[in-house]
Amino acid sequence: MMELQLNHLNQDEVLRYMGCPPEQADEATRAMVAQCEQELLKVIQPRWANRVFDITQEEDGVRLSCGLLLPGADLKQHLTGCSRVVLLCATLSAQADRLIRQAESGDMFRALALDCCATAAVEQICDQIEQHIQGEFPGCYFPFRFSPGYGDLPITLQGQLLQLLDAPRKIGLCASASHILTPRKSVTAFLGVAEQPIAQTIRSCLSCPAHNSCQYRKSGGHCGIS
């Protein structure tokens, strides 16, 4: 299993998650992000797990070779041209949650910065995992990774996906009764594998971890990244 190494965070990305265009961030905000980056990287213990499945396209969605149907039109569309999918999960571990909780009782500015640093951290970890997985499928093509909650892929799948990965035992990642991943700073995702070139490789709002809570989107705009 590849060891995850995270030595720095993409601070501009952290600022965007905080609702602040990087070019307009003041010095105090940048300093806080830099401080929180260090604090967070010290406590997290990133872990991950993955598993490869053959897939078949069905009328109602995509079926994994283990029998589980992933319902909805969006993932099905997204995996067009893919014959396999890698299911992966990753977590920063409970220590990240604890650090954020500590900050929340006294200093919301620091809490917001830590929370957004953690979101950026788990994304960067997923990027590393994705890169590693891509290396194991030479000559193949990959659409961007797709998580429950994107489009019409329901988050009610979380528990079953974690079971398929034996994630509660292997990395301590569980889903709550309302299908929230705990520890909180965690991700499950599908990475399609295609033998031929495909179109869906570009990152968009749909694949952004902030897409639900994004202040730019709420006001009808865009953060400018693509």
- Binding residues vs another protein (CB under 8 A): 1, 15, 18-21, 24-26, 28-29, 32, 47, 66-68, 93-95, 97-98, 100-102, 104-109, 111-113, 115, 149, 155-156, 159-160, 163-164, 168-169, 171-172, 174-180, 182-184, 212-213, 215, 218
Q: Nearer Cβ to another protein, position 139 or 220? A: 220
Q: Nearer Cβ to another protein, position 10 or 80? A: 10
- Report the nearest approach of another protein to the CB of residue 163 (Å): 6
Output the DSSP codes for 97-160: HHHHHHHHTT-HHHHHHHHHHHHHHHHHHHHHHHHHHHHTSTT-B-PPPB-TTSTT--GGGHHH
- Report the nearest approach of another protein to the CB of residue 181 (Å): 10
Provide CB contacts within 8 A for 128, sequence distance 6+: 2, 4, 5, 6
- Report the nearest approach of another protein to the CB of residue 43 (Å): 10
Q: Nearer Cβ to another protein, position 71 or 149? A: 149
Q: Nearer Cβ to another protein, position 180 or 225? A: 180
| Residue 183 CA to its chain's centroid (Å) | 13
- Report the nearest approach of another protein to the CB of residue 90 (Å): 14
- CA-CA distance, 139 to 135, in Å (whole number)? 9
Whether residue 49 contacts residue 88, with contact meaning beta carbons closer than 8 Å, is answered with yes
Q: Nearer Cβ to another protein, position 34 or 174? A: 174
Do β-strands 186-194 and 181-182 pair in parallel, antiparallel, or remain unpaired? unpaired
Dihedral sign, Cα of residue 204, residue 209, residue 212, residue 213: negative
Q: Nearer Cβ to another protein, position 28 or 199? A: 28
Q: From residue 56, give the alpha-carbon distance in Å to each of 24, 72, 74, 178.
A: 47, 14, 15, 28
- Report the nearest approach of another protein to the CB of residue 198 (Å): 27
83-99 b/e (C-beta count within 10 Å ≥ 16 → b): ebbbbbbbbbbbebbeb
- Report the nearest approach of another protein to the CB of residue 81 (Å): 26
